[in-house]
A = this chain, B = another copy of it.
Amino acid sequence: MIVTLKTGTKKLAVNEVIRRIQKLGFKPELSRGAEHIVIGVIGEGNKAVTHRGVFEAMPQVESVTPISKPYKIVSRVFKKNNTVIDVNGVCIGGDSVVVMAGPCSIDTKENLILTGKELKKAGVQVLRGGAFKPRTSPYSFQGLGEEGLKYLAEVRKATGLPVITEVMDTRQVELIERYADILQIGARNSQNYDLLREVGRTRKAVMLKRGMAMTIEEWLMAAEYILAAGNNNVMLCERGIRTYETATRFTLDLNAVPVLKHLSHLPVIVDPSHGVGVRDYIVPMAKAAIACGADGVILECHPNPAQALSDGHQALLPADMGAIVKDLRRVATSVGRTLY
């Protein structure tokens, strides 16, 4: 960590910073530039960074620049090899790219069974479906709750597909853990730290979506909460960030894929359905996600989009998924991956 002092800082005030560094157990290294005195704070690992605020608060300090990353267990420095998560035999983060699909909200058992069977046939490997839904409006459909979880379990039994569903509240973790194979933390709860700790106490796989305005660093820090609580089975899911552009619902930030693969060993999934929010643009962006190194994509499907209880405008037809999976497999192969 580097502490830059204001131009013209007096000797007394410089010494005060140096003593503070020493008192915290770090070694100060002073360097006099033309305009600024700069003091390096040398210590073990990234410990110095956690004291960043102490120095920022001192009036003689111009700025504080971290050199080490603030995260640790999620970092590729900490663990060189890719984390591969085995979810009932489906490996996420390995050579093979994974396709997850299913409805945004679970509506009827019939629709879910129909969808599950078609998706299984199409080569999809994980079934998604929301039972508890975070909706912008209190007057919108809020999900079937436990009823929906039961449908998911039935379709898993019928198809063998592992299932992923969202958990929104610490009080739901115990219930959802009983039904789901992967716990999804949605964008709106990506910095709900109590919830992160709670899913960190389970041993289920967790898919952590990126918050709408989350930097990649904050996202990795949120993942660190889950790993620090003891659960290493975490995958990250890019789902679009908020920008000024309105032609797409969000701006799917595919740049995050190579950045995350560089900084972290965790698997990276991409959700183009929520990312762009327009049916016609989803498959091209799913291809792009795989081309730049994503370990999987998650797609919204509904047998009758116009009757879907949420996000019908971005739902693909289960009947089209066979062709889509084939197209994605071709792209995966072109970049040296497989897709079963």
Contact = CB atoms under 8 A, between A and B. Distances in A.
Contact of A334 (B136, B168, B248, B331): B331
Give the interface centre of A46, A195, A245 by most chain B CB atoms within 10 Å. A245
Interface string A311-325: 111010000000000
Contact of A291 (B32, B215, B287): B287
A306 interface: yes
Interface in A281-335: 281, 284-285, 287-293, 305-313, 315, 327, 330-331, 333-335
Contacts of A79: none
Total copies of the chain: 4
Nearest to A168: B194
Contact of A67 (B38, B254, B287): B38
A58 B304 CA distance: 9
A276 interface: yes
Contacts of A139: 50, 228
Interface stretch (A109-117, A155-163, A256-264): A256-264
Contacts of A29: 31
Contacts of A216: 245, 247
A122 interface: no
Interface in A181-230: 188-189, 191-195, 197, 211-213, 215-218, 221, 224-225, 228-229
Interface residues of A, number: 111
Contacts of A89: none
A255 interface: yes
A34 B40 contact: no
Interface in A41-80: 42-46, 50, 53-59, 65, 67-68, 70-71, 77
A88 interface: no
Nearest to A224: B138
A280 B258 contact: yes
A171 interface: yes
Interface string A234-269: 000000011111111001111111110010000000
A134 to B, nearest CB: 5
Interface of A: 2, 4, 7, 20, 29, 31-36, 38, 40, 42-46, 50, 53-59, 65, 67-68, 70-71, 77, 134-140, 168-171, 188-189, 191-195, 197, 211-213, 215-218, 221, 224-225, 228-229, 241-248, 251-259, 262, 275-276, 279-281, 284-285, 287-293, 305-313, 315, 327, 330-331, 333-335
29 contacts: A7-B77, A31-B40, A31-B42, A32-B42, A33-B40, A34-B68, A57-B312, A57-B313, A65-B65, A70-B136, A137-B224, A138-B221, A138-B225, A169-B194, A170-B171, A189-B192, A213-B241, A213-B244, A241-B245, A245-B253, A247-B255, A248-B255, A254-B285, A255-B281, A255-B285, A257-B284, A258-B276, A291-B291, A333-B334
